[in-house]
Structure 1
Amino acid sequence: MTKTARQLQEEGLLYDVFEQELTDIKDRTYGLVSELSRASYFDTEYVMSLVRKIVAKIGQDSYIVPPFRCDYGDHVFIGNNTYINYNCCFLDSAKVTIGDYVYMGPNCNIFTPCHPIHHELRKEKVTEYALPVTVGSHSWIGGDVVITPGVTIGENCVIGAGSVVTKDIPDNSIAVGNPCKVIRQVNDKDREYINSLILDDETKNSKYKQEHGYVYSAKDEAIFNIVKDTVHYVEILNKLSNSEIQRRRDFLRTFVAKLDEGAMINSPFYMEFANHLEMGVNSFINYDCIMLNNAMVKLGDNVLVGPKVSFYTAMHPIDAKQREQWLVYAKPITVEDNVWIGGSATILGGVTIGKNAIVGAGAVVTKDVEPNTIVVGNPARVLRKITAEDSKKYQEELAKQKDINKSEFDKMMAGQWYNAMDYSMLKLRQENNKKTEAYSRITINTLSYKDRMAKAIVKEFGENANIIPPFTCDYGCNVKVGNNTVINHSGVFLDTNEINIGKHALIGPKSGLYGAIHPFDVEARNEGIEKAKTINIGDGAWLGGKVTVVPGVSIGKHSVIGAGSVVTKDIPDDVVAVGNPCRVIRKITEDDKINPIRKK
């Protein structure tokens, strides 16, 4: 008897992703997760009623902060007293098992599906097989972590923020990096460190302890009420269109600690403590940023924060028993004047980023960054100093731009320096904002209009192409999507120049394709000057989830980019490449045509 796609999926065999039985299940789940994404964080009864309809099991006193995303739901099993924070994504084609007392930070991703490495096995049909993922009890998964198919994380583990977990992690381990590696075992000194942060003074409340770096209870009523109020205001902010610049700015001033002239935050955005955010003159936070600002986050003047950047000031104890008492401490983050933080970067508590510094896209910043330096990688390391030569080079390039009568848009398309803050450019982005915001609000009831709306946003939308909402881009008119290409949810494309995606390509969820380059010259950057380079994704390429692609990169035909990678250089045809920065690890060969299940 011929097996159905669902049976093949359950047995870990190759199946067609778009087989009708599976599509019906995903459509039902999509309707529920869309409803959940519109639910208020603190409407706990309603949130949990939806969660129980979505997942196979969620234990006593566990909670999922919306929005939350999964494909099927009936493969997700969550234990007791587990907390899954904002904007997590489980691609649960296989079983996802999360134990008791697990703390999962915001924007974490569990991916169980694997597409075949050879493009011919995924061309006629989008095929995949899936491997289960397990997270052991009493573990803490930091924010922005990616867990890849088949991985088991043991009990009582700590996974550092921004890590990409590609192999099993044994019990009682602390592991970090891309790829994630064990750096040491949990020990008694971890408990002693938290004990040293306990302030034995009954006259000091939790708010005082929080703001002075001592351990406090996250369940303290006063703390809880601040979070509740802040999230309420942020939910209102996220309902305002990004095209309503002045209205958004006026509203932000009513609840954040400081918002100087010209400062702005694009939605979607998330934070928990309004009284712990200060933004200087003309500072800007782009789409999809997250702030766990239990301690103060100070952004100086002219700070430029790219899309999908996360700021994590909150620290949980390493010792699981202390963590399970909801003890937290926090370290502030300071970003000084004229800093540029590239898209998809992660900034950890206690860090100061010095004046004029540049943080590369996808970097995970764990230590202070000196002024006038460029840092990249996971963990972020100094690439080089910024010098007067960088400003000189910019001035020389600017002098070569002969046709000063070109519009700013024409300069952008020609790869020249242009003013992104020119009114004509602002207007184009505002008009596109309205389209992408409407697209991102698609529900199960409006699903039939999805492709029509996608065609109204992007320049070319090929036959049988699929962009799964939410989706964000700056202009839309620079995005070309080939036939039979699938772009999974929560993609952000800064299409300041062409983004060309070929036929039969697969792009995983939460990917960021960033075409804009800002000058190293501080004065020019502060004026809104930038230029753009084309991004090309070849036919049949597969980009795993949460991949970041920087300006000017071309990814060759049929190539496979591992989940969580940061692609900074061209990738040739027919290779597998992974890491931050992304490196080729091998060629794709005829052997990859063999059904991958036979090699399991």
Structure 2
Amino acid sequence: MTKTAKELQKEGLLYDVFDKELAAIKDRTYGLVNELSHVSALDKESALHLVHKIVGNLGEESYVVPPFRCDYGPNITIGAHCFINYNCCFLDSAEITIGDYVYMGPNCNIFTPCHPIHHELRRDKITEYALPVTIGSHTWIAGDVIINPGVTIGEGAVIGAGSVVTRDIPANCLAAGNPCKVIRQLNENDRKIVEKLTLNDDTKDNVYKQEHGYMYFVMDKALRSQVENTVHYVNILNKLSNSEVQRRRDFLRTFTQRLDEGAVINSPFYMEFGNHLEVGINSIIDSDCIMLNSGRIKIGDNVLIGPKTSFYTPVHPFWHDQRESWIEHAEPITIEDNVWICGGVTITGGITIGKNAIVCSGSVITRDVPADTIVAGNPAKPLRSVTGQDIKQYQAELAKQYDLNLTEKEKMERGLWYNSFDGELIKLRQKNASKTEAYSRISANTLCYKDKMANAIVHEFGENANIIPPFACTYGSNVSVGKATVINHSGIFADTNKINIGAHALIGPKSFLNCTTRPYDEKARGDGTEKSAPITIGDGAWLGGKVTVLPGVTIGRHSVIGSGSVVTHDIPDDVVAVGNPCKVIRPITEEDKINPYRTKKQQ
């Protein structure tokens, strides 16, 4: 008797992703998920009503902050007293089991599906198999964590922000990094940290304690009122088009501590304490950024912050019994003048990034960054200093193109230095913004209508291709998508140059394809100077979730890029590559066609 796709899925065997029975389940779920995305995080009753409809089980006193995304829903079990924060994504082709008292930070991702490594098994129809994920009770998963298929995280574990978890993590330990590794077991010294930060003074309220770095009660009424007010205003902000620059700026000034002249914050955007945010002159915070700003976030002048950057100031206790009493302390973040944060960056509490520093895409910042320093990696480490030679090189390149009689748009298309503040380019970006914002509001299951809209946004949209909303791109006219290619939700394509994606390619959720670079000369950066280089993704390539691809990169035909990777250099055909920076770990062979299943030993 032939097994159905649903039966194959349950048994962890290869199945057709677009099987009609499975598609019907996903269509129902996508409709509910889309409805949930339009519910305010403050409307707990409506959110819980929808989450109960979506997931298989939601324990008592648990809450999932919208937006939240999943594929099926019934495969998800969430225990009691859990808190799943803003913008988490669970790809639940296999069971996802979350214990009791689990705290999960914003923008976390649990991926259970695995596509076969060999492209021939993905070409004629998209196939996958799925491995379950289990998260033990009393764990703390910090923000921007990726949990890969088949992983079990033990009870009481703490996973550091921005980690990519590829293997099982034992109980009661601290683990972090890409790939995530155990740093140490939790011990009694972790308890003493809470004691040191506890202020035994009845005359000081929780607002005072939060402001001064002491342990405070998260559910304090005065603090919750501040959060509710800020989230309410942020919800209004996110309904305004990014093209309404002055209107957005004026509105932001009504609820942030300071927003100086020329400052810009693009949507979608999330923040909890408006009175804790200061943004300096001409600083730009691009779309899809998250600020958990229990501690103050101070951003200087002429700072550029790329898309999908997260700021996390609150710190929970490491021991679960202390954490579960809803106490935490907050550590401020300071970004000094002329800093360039390239996008997809995670910044933890207590950090200062010095003047003129450059933070490369996908970095996880766990230590202070000195001035005039370039850092990269997870955790981020200094690469080198910015020097006068960097400025001279930029000026020499600029001098070579000085006499060219080209528009700024033509310079952009040729990969030359150009002024991004040019009026023609601004109008093109604003025109495209209205299209992508409309596209991002529709549900993933409105296939016919969605495909027509996608055709209107990108330059080429191949037969049977699929871009799952929400989706954003800078111009759209530079994006070409091959036939039968699938781009999963929440992708951002900075297409200041050509982005060519071949046929039968798969791109996971929350991808960031960035053609844009800026000069190391901080003054030129502040004046809007950029240049671009094309990105090419070959036929049959598969990029896992939350992959970042940098300017000028070519990813070869059929190659596989692991989740959370930052691709800084070309990747050849027919290889598996992972990491930050992304490196080739092995070739793809005929053995991958014979045995497509990944076991825990192979992870």
Same fold, TM-score > 0.5, yes or no: yes
How many angstroms does 1:448 deviate by?
2.8
How many angstroms does 1:312 deviate by?
0.4
* Residue identity in the other structure for 1:140: W
How many angstroms does 1:443 deviate by?
2.9
Aligned to 2:226: 226
Aligned to 1:555: 555
SS at match of 1:425: helix
Aligned to 2:343: 343
Structure 2 CA distance for aligned equivalents of residues 482 and 448 of structure 1: 18
How many angstroms does 1:445 deviate by?
8.0
Aligned to 1:381: 381
State yes or no: 1:474 paired with 2:471.
no
Map 1:511-550 onto structure 2 (within 5 A).
Answer: 511-550=511-550
Aligned to 2:3: 3
Structure 1 CA distance for aligned equivalents of residues 332 and 402 of structure 2: 46
CA gap 1:262/1:290 in 2 versus in 1, 3 angstroms: same
The CA deviation string for residues 190-216 of structure 1, in whole angstroms up to 9 with x for no partner, is 111111101011111101000100000
The answer to which of 288-297 and 441-450 deviates more is 441-450
The CA deviation string for residues 6-37 of structure 1, in whole angstroms up to 9 with x for no partner, is 11101110000001111111110000000000
* Residue identity in the other structure for 1:238: N
Aligned to 1:491: 491
Map 1:92-241 onto structure 2 (within 5 A).
Answer: 92-241=92-241
* Residue identity in the other structure for 1:285: I
Q: Is the 8 A contact 2:163 2:180 kept in 1?
A: yes
Aligned to 2:413: 413
* Residue identity in the other structure for 1:585: I
Structure 1 CA distance for aligned equivalents of residues 22 and 304 of structure 2: 42
The CA deviation string for residues 229-273 of structure 1, in whole angstroms up to 9 with x for no partner, is 000000000000001111101100111000000001000000000
Q: Is the 8 A contact 2:147 2:166 kept in 1?
A: yes
Q: TM-score, normalised by structure 1?
A: 0.99
The answer to which of 114-123 and 421-430 deviates more is 421-430
* Residue identity in the other structure for 2:121: L
Structure 1 CA distance for aligned equivalents of residues 175 and 342 of structure 2: 25
Structure 1 CA distance for aligned equivalents of residues 380 and 443 of structure 2: 39
Q: Is the 8 A contact 2:567 2:581 kept in 1?
A: yes
How many angstroms does 1:595 deviate by?
3.7
The CA deviation string for residues 426-448 of structure 1, in whole angstroms up to 9 with x for no partner, is 11110000000000001378543
Q: Percent identity?
A: 69
SS at match of 2:472: strand
The CA deviation string for residues 492-550 of structure 1, in whole angstroms up to 9 with x for no partner, is 00001001100000000001001100100111100000000000100000000000111
* Residue identity in the other structure for 2:25: I
Structure 2 CA distance for aligned equivalents of residues 257 and 269 of structure 1: 16
* Residue identity in the other structure for 1:492: I
SS at match of 2:424: helix
Structure 2 CA distance for aligned equivalents of residues 244 and 110 of structure 1: 35
State yes or no: 1:27 paired with 2:27.
yes
Aligned to 1:423: 423
* Residue identity in the other structure for 1:500: N
CA gap 1:504/1:446 in 2 versus in 1, 3 angstroms: closer
Structure 2 CA distance for aligned equivalents of residues 464 and 263 of structure 1: 41
Structure 1 CA distance for aligned equivalents of residues 554 and 403 of structure 2: 28
Aligned to 2:294: 294
SS at match of 1:122: helix
How many angstroms does 1:596 deviate by?
2.1
* Residue identity in the other structure for 1:525: R
Aligned to 1:457: 457
Structure 2 CA distance for aligned equivalents of residues 339 and 320 of structure 1: 36
Structure 1 CA distance for aligned equivalents of residues 407 and 449 of structure 2: 34
Q: Is the 8 A contact 2:30 2:445 kept in 1?
A: no
Structure 2 CA distance for aligned equivalents of residues 313 and 593 of structure 1: 46
Q: TM-score, normalised by structure 2?
A: 0.99
Aligned to 1:361: 361
* Residue identity in the other structure for 2:331: K
SS at match of 1:596: coil
Structure 2 CA distance for aligned equivalents of residues 97 and 445 of structure 1: 26
Map 1:284-323 onto structure 2 (within 5 A).
Answer: 284-323=284-323
The answer to which of 83-92 and 402-411 deviates more is 402-411
Structure 1 CA distance for aligned equivalents of residues 574 and 410 of structure 2: 34
How many angstroms does 1:422 deviate by?
1.1
Structure 2 CA distance for aligned equivalents of residues 247 and 568 of structure 1: 37
The CA deviation string for residues 281-301 of structure 1, in whole angstroms up to 9 with x for no partner, is 000000100000000000000
CA gap 1:445/1:548 in 2 versus in 1, 3 angstroms: closer
CA gap 1:249/1:166 in 2 versus in 1, 3 angstroms: same
The answer to which of 405-414 and 253-262 deviates more is 405-414
Structure 2 CA distance for aligned equivalents of residues 598 and 48 of structure 1: 36
* Residue identity in the other structure for 1:587: P
Aligned to 1:584: 584
Structure 2 CA distance for aligned equivalents of residues 380 and 273 of structure 1: 27
The answer to which of 22-31 and 589-598 deviates more is 589-598
How many angstroms does 1:597 deviate by?
3.8
Structure 2 CA distance for aligned equivalents of residues 162 and 490 of structure 1: 17
Structure 1 CA distance for aligned equivalents of residues 446 and 375 of structure 2: 44
Q: Is the 8 A contact 2:443 2:469 kept in 1?
A: no
* Residue identity in the other structure for 1:211: E
Q: Is the 8 A contact 2:59 2:78 kept in 1?
A: yes
Q: Is the 8 A contact 2:292 2:311 kept in 1?
A: yes
Aligned to 1:397: 397
Number of residue equivalences: 600
* Residue identity in the other structure for 1:424: E
Structure 1 CA distance for aligned equivalents of residues 573 and 403 of structure 2: 37
Structure 1 CA distance for aligned equivalents of residues 259 and 366 of structure 2: 26
SS at match of 1:29: helix
How many angstroms does 1:598 deviate by?
8.9
Map 1:12-23 onto structure 2 (within 5 A).
Answer: 12-23=12-23
Structure 1 CA distance for aligned equivalents of residues 531 and 354 of structure 2: 24
Aligned to 1:246: 246
The gaps in structure 2 that reach 5 residues or longer are none
* Residue identity in the other structure for 1:449: Y
Q: Is the 8 A contact 2:444 2:469 kept in 1?
A: no
Root mean square deviation of aligned Cα: 1.0
The gaps in structure 1 that reach 5 residues or longer are none
Structure 1 CA distance for aligned equivalents of residues 444 and 399 of structure 2: 52
Aligned to 1:87: 87
Structure 1 CA distance for aligned equivalents of residues 369 and 599 of structure 2: 45
* Residue identity in the other structure for 2:9: Q
